[in-house]
Amino acid sequence: MRGLEANPFIIQLEFDEPRIINTVDLTTATMKDFTIILKAYGGTNDSFVVYENTYKDLPPDPTVSIDLENGPQSVQKLIVEIKHNTLEDPTNIHIRELLLR
């Protein structure tokens, strides 16, 4: 996926039935400094848990794993935000792979 002039690049996934998600693996194009924010919503859209990590100087096309500790037992909706911290707008953020496990 490519987010044309989107910073942050936001992906929203909504599931027909809640699913168990323990870890999110995300592979991006090379970025020197970026932040990922995940919002995991349980059975109701009002309650969610936020996970935020900033990554710097990773190797080319890095894969990062985010454990959904202390989150909802099952996820109804997942929002993934990827923000490139060093480029000025407009920028293009590339997502190589998004794996939910």
pLDDT averaged per 10 residues, the chain (length 101)? 85 95 96 96 83 97 96 93 84 94 95
Give the span between the Cα atoms of 45 and 66, in whole angstroms: 21
DSSP-assigned letter for residue 90 = S
| Spatial distance between the Cα atoms of 29 and 96, rounded to a whole number of angstroms | 7
Q: What are 94's two structure tokens?
A: 């590339």
**Cβ neighbours, 10 Å, residue 65:** 11
CATH of domain 2-100: 2.60.120.1190
pLDDT at residue 6 in the model: 84
pLDDT for 45: 60
Q: Residue ranges of the domains in the chain? A: 2-100
